[in-house]
Amino acid sequence: MTTISACMIVRNEEAMLPACIASLAALAPDELVIVDTGSTDRTVEIAKAAGARVEHFEWIDDFATARNYSIAQCRSEWIFWLDADDRLASGAGTMIRSALPFVDDDAASVHVHMQADEGASVDDVASHAANCLADIIHARLLRRAAGPRFVGRVHEDVSAWLEERGMASVGLIAADVVHIGSPPTLRERLHKSDRNRRLLLQLLAEDANNIRAMYYIAIEAIGTDRAEVLAWVDRACRTPIEVRRASQDFPGLVAMGASCHLAAGDVDAAEAMARRAHDDVGGWAQLSLLLGEVEMRRGRHWHAVARFHEAYAFACDRRYSDQGIANGGAAGAWLGIANVYGGAGMHGAALDALDTAEGLASKQRFYTDQIAKLRALIATRRPS
């Protein structure tokens, strides 16, 4: 039988930990490994009472180092890593247990849904009956013998390890995990953004060309300070060309900046930013999607269709380490095509494009909501 270790790093999580552990019941992990990084509350007591093997690690302001220590303590064939504010939705544990024996890769992904509102039901968030900030496809299952490795002082992940092994894209298990620690009100109370910004600035102090750090700082600022987002885009654009070409975060950062220009009504600036990046680093789905939006704003709808087809090709061909971005790029491309067809009165073609987009969206609410709205709009315009 395939064995699984559930593994997490924690600190002062007495409020979150019990429900997290309870959600693992259907997964029935062969061991529960909890690494404490300096709790002063009842976290360790709760973990031990639940049967966890508790290890200790001195916190050094580096999530990847702590995470790597935690997975090194595991003994099972597979490691399912999570946080105390993660919850497995109904059926997720059973689905993971059933699917793992058939996974050929050394990693597998699941759907991770970022909860928007405190107090929402886990299953409602997973099913989109409750608000969701984002839906991510995340490599949460790692084959221990393959030697997985996390990178990143904050927002740590295994993407670099996957790329080294030629596995930038891995299989998806249709299991839902809800991250209940993402509501803005909760993040503000816990000062998570302040902590993340501090660690990201430390990364930039160590490596001034760290585009991933710039990308995540911009994400923290996107809702409140567009000028700061644009400043980080400008800084990223001044890094050496080889750094930009090697970064999977650079296209997303540029797309954020260009979207800020579009939101301000400055189509020329958005186009110039996206085109310059496209010329520098080649084809990426996010940049082609943005240029398709620019063409639509200019009324050049069939040029937009060509850009959206280009985005789809890039999303399919490039081995994104974040499969959610690849799937989102593909879904966004067909959503854009549907918008053009719908606006041209080609309702049947628009609905066909929406069907394709829906099949690619992989439970990403940003796209599924837009697909549903466009379907409803076409239904009101289509002759009966």
Contact (Cβ atoms closer than 8 angstroms) between residue 253 and residue 233: yes
**pLDDT score at 361:** 81
Q: Which CATH number covers residue 42?
A: 3.90.550.10
pLDDT in tens, 308-366: 999 999 888 755 555 566 667 889 999 999 999 999 999 999 999 999 999 888 677 78
Q: Which residues of 268-295 are buried (b: 16+ CB within 10 A; e: fewer)?
A: ebbbebbeebbeebeebbbbbbbbbbbb
Same domain, 302 and 374: yes
**pLDDT score at 141:** 98
| 88 CA to centre of own chain | 17
Cα–Cα nearest to 33, from 65, 85, 86, 69? 69
Contact (Cβ atoms closer than 8 angstroms) between residue 238 and residue 268: no
- Pairing, β 4-10 against β 78-81: parallel
Q: Binning pLDDT at 50, 70 and 90, where does residue 381 land?
A: confident
Tokens 């690494």 label which residue? 35
Q: Is a pLDDT exceeding 90 seen at residue 382?
A: no
Q: Listing from the earlier edge strand, what are the strands of the sheet with 132-143?
A: 53-56, 31-36, 4-10, 78-81, 132-143, 107-115, 172-179, 86-88
**Distances from the Cα of 162 to the Cα of 27, 169, 182, 247, angstroms:** 25, 8, 26, 15
As to burial, measured by CB atoms within 10 angstroms (0-12 exposed, 13-18 middle, 19+ buried), residue 103 is middle
Q: Which CATH number covers residue 300?
A: 1.25.40
**pLDDT score at 242:** 96
Same domain, 132 and 55: yes
Packing angle between helix 267-281 and helix 250-263, nearest 10 degrees?
A: 170
Same domain, 175 and 143: yes
pLDDT in tens, 20-49: 999 999 999 999 999 999 999 999 999 999
Cα–Cα nearest to 323, from 220, 184, 170? 170
The domain in which residue 331 lies consists of: 283-384
pLDDT in tens, 48-68: 999 999 999 999 999 999 999
**Listed residues 282, 301, 318: the one ending a domain:** 282
Signed CA dihedral, 342, 344, 345, 349: sign only: negative
Same domain, 156 and 98: yes
Same domain, 154 and 229: no
Mean pLDDT of 284-292: 93
Instruction: Give the count of domains, the chain.
Output: 3
Give 139's strand partners. 109
pLDDT in tens, 214-250: 999 999 898 889 999 999 999 999 999 999 998 989 9
**Listed residues 282, 300, 331: the one ending a domain:** 282
Task: Give the whole-angstrom CA distance, residue 287 versus residue 318.
Answer: 13
pLDDT in tens, 98-154: 999 999 999 999 999 999 999 999 999 999 899 888 888 899 999 999 999 999 999
**Mean residue pLDDT across the chain:** 93
Report the residue count for the chain. 384
Helix (H, G, I), strand (E, B) or coil at 360: helix
Same domain, 113 and 71: yes
Q: Binning pLDDT at 50, 70 and 90, where does residue 384 land?
A: low
**How many CA atoms lie within 13 Å of 38's alpha carbon, on the beta-carbon side?**
5
